[in-house]
Amino acid sequence: MTAALARERRSERLRLLVQPVAVLLLVLGVLVWAFSQDLDSIERQSLNASALLSATWDHLVISFVVTALVLVVAVPLGVLLTRRWARRVAPLFLGIATIGQASPAIGVLVLFFLATGMEGLWAAVLPIAFYTLLPVLRNTVVGLQGVDPALVDAGRGIGMSSGAVLRRIELPLAVPLILAGLRTALVLAVGVATLAVFVNGGGLGLLIDTGYKLARFPVLITGAVLAVGLALLVDWLGAVAEAYLGPKGLR
């Protein structure tokens, strides 16, 4: 069993090395290909360094604001839902979050736009955050519920307050699961952020949309590959965080 575990660790470490290299090669390859094409003036408007950088930057901003928002909302909510007095309402909140994720992302985005009339960054960020809330919320709840009750009992028994038990025992032990949820949420956010273009939120969706509507394939492909590369890169960052930020005694 330990041999299998060691093998799994080795393959995981290998993946940590290979993934970013593969992503870089893919992105570089597509960029070289796109810029070596005979570009017309419309294509040149999208395919130039400053436009690509700003689209990528917008995309990253949307993804990270979403993640920060999810983190700030889902982790405290998950903590509240696992307190003894809140056990009964937990299914309700998990249900709402499940609805958020089960409905199509573009539907949530458009409904939010129709309801509020907002445009720009926040019009994209808020619905996408709602859409990606579930993995972090559920993993926080499951992670906290998974802490051995004997440890909580031991903590209380030696005189730790319930807050101290939460801060020093329960949360650190739930960190691996919370990080795993966060990684899923980030990857989802990067993917769904391509839809931000429909509420004027910018991002790589702009390239995809332009390329598709104007039938400019180099633009379409560049936008799509950059979005894929970004998602893989973010997933890689999540994997690195999981490998190095979890509690040391459990690794």
Partner 1 sequence: MASEIELVDVTKRYPGADQPAVDSVSMTIPAGEIVVFVGPSGCGKTTTMRMINRLIEPTSGRITIDGEDTLSLDPDRLRRGIGYAIQQAGLFPHLTVGQNVGMVPGLLGWKKSKSADRVDEMLDLVGLDPADFRDRFPRQLSGGQQQRVGVARALAADPPVLLMDEPFGAVDPITRGNLQDELMRLQAELRKTIVFVTHDFGEAVKLGDRIAVLGQQSRILQYDTPEQILANPADDTVAGFVGAGASLKQLTLLRVREVELSKAITATTADDPAEIVRRLAAAKREFALLLDARGRPTGWVHARTPSKPVPVGDSVTLQSTLQDALEAILTEGGAAVVTGARGEYVGLVEIDTVMSTVKRLREEAGA
Residues near partner 1 (CB under 8 A) are 150-151, 153-161, 164, 168-169, 172-173, 247-250
Minimum CB separation from partner 1 for residue 89, in Å? Answer: 21
Residue with tokens 């299998």: 4
Minimum CB separation from partner 1 for residue 9, in Å? Answer: 16
Tell me the Cα Rg of the chain. Answer: 21
Minimum CB separation from partner 1 for residue 179, in Å? Answer: 14
Is residue 226 within 8 A of residue 236, CB to CB? The reply is: no
Q: Which is nearer to partner 1, 26 or 160 (CB)?
A: 160
With vertex at residue 189, the alpha carbon angle to CA 235 and CA 182, rounded to the nearest 5 degrees, is 55
Angle, in degrees to the nearest 10, between helices 49-82 and 90-102: 160
Q: In angstroms, rounded to a whole number, what is the distance separating the alpha carbons of residues 126 and 244? A: 30
Is residue 62 within 8 A of residue 201, CB to CB? The reply is: yes
Minimum CB separation from partner 1 for residue 48, in Å? Answer: 50
Q: Which is nearer to partner 1, 23 or 165 (CB)?
A: 165
Q: Which is nearer to partner 1, 177 or 186 (CB)?
A: 177
Tokens (6 digits) for 183: 């990684």
Helix (H, G, I), strand (E, B) or coil at 2: helix
DSSP state string for 174-225: HHHHHHHHHHHHHHHHHHHGGGGGGGT--STHHHHHHHHHTT-HHHHHHHHH
Q: Which is nearer to partner 1, 103 or 161 (CB)?
A: 161
Q: Which is nearer to partner 1, 117 or 159 (CB)?
A: 159
Minimum CB separation from partner 1 for residue 43, in Å? Answer: 54
Q: Which is nearer to partner 1, 109 or 169 (CB)?
A: 169
Minimum CB separation from partner 1 for residue 99, in Å? Answer: 34
